[in-house]
């Protein structure tokens, strides 16, 4: 039954949106029917080719369950990304079918966050499977644990001047969304999953939220 629901969600034939009141107010958007299919492992999306769930920078995975432990143990206490990641964790934890938790250690974590100064690269951040990750499932439901999100502080620090914490939160929302299976969006929706620089700090309720329901309900 779950697989049937998931298939219908992805093709837009079934829409179930359940948004907590506080998040719904923050987003200020009405629920609608999902029509895109940009969800899952090894799945093409806007301006992005399909790629296996693996340890490379182009990795595309889903989570291995509705409990998603997100560790910041490898982020320095002084990192400007910590507050942003916490905000994003709280956003996704508001989904009625997910339990997204701040985890105090890398042991048992589903996602580890790390950062560094990598120069003027083409990327703000990326997620990939850890070198020692466990794998399971088959596409489009292939997962690994832990996944590792790496933030390039050369870019977020430059962004701070104009966008501050909100800009960093948009990056964290985008990357945590990827670890749950959300893929890139076209630049028009109000969503942190759009494939270009933006200050959308939340996933969209009429699409992203709906796809998460289809996967984890």
Three-state SS for 97-164 is: CCEEEEECCCCCCCEEEEEECCCCCCCCEEEEEEEEEEEECCCCCCEEEEEEEEEECHHHHHHHHHHH
Calculate the average pLDDT of the chain. Answer: 82
| 85 compared with 154, residue with greater pLDDT | 85
Q: Which domains does the chain have, with CATH numbers?
A: 2-216 (3.40.390.10)
| pLDDT attached to residue 3 | 42
| pLDDT attached to residue 25 | 24
73-132 tens-digit pLDDT: 999 887 889 999 999 999 999 999 999 999 999 999 999 999 999 998 888 999 999 999
21-72 tens-digit pLDDT: 333 222 222 222 233 468 999 999 998 999 999 999 999 999 999 999 999 9
């Amino acid at each position: 039954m779950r697989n049937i629901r998931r298939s219908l969600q992805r093709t837009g034939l079934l829409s179930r949106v359940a948004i907590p009141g506080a998040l719904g107010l923050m987003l200020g958007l009405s629920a609608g029917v999902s029509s895109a299919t940009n969800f899952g492992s090894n799945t093409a999306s806007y301006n992005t080719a399909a790629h296996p769930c693996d340890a490379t920078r182009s990795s595309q995975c889903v989570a291995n369950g509705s409990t998603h432990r997100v560790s910041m143990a490898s982020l320095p206490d002084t990192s400007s990304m910590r507050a942003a990641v916490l905000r994003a964790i709280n956003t996704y934890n508001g989904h009625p079918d997910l339990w997204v938790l701040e985890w105090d250690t890398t042991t048992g974590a589903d996602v580890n966050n790390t950062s560094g100064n990598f120069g003027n690269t083409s990327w703000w951040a990326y997620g990939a499977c850890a070198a020692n990750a466990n794998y399971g499932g088959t596409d489009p439901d292939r997962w690994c644990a832990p996944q590792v999100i790496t933030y390039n502080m050369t870019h977020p620090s430059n962004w701070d001047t104009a966008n501050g914490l909100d800009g960093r939160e948009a990056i964290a929302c985008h990357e945590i969304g990827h670890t749950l299976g959300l893929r890139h969006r076209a630049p028009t929706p109000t969503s942190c999953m759009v494939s270009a620089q933006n200050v959308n700090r939340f996933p969209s309720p009429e699409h992203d939220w709906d796809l998460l329901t289809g996967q984890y309900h």
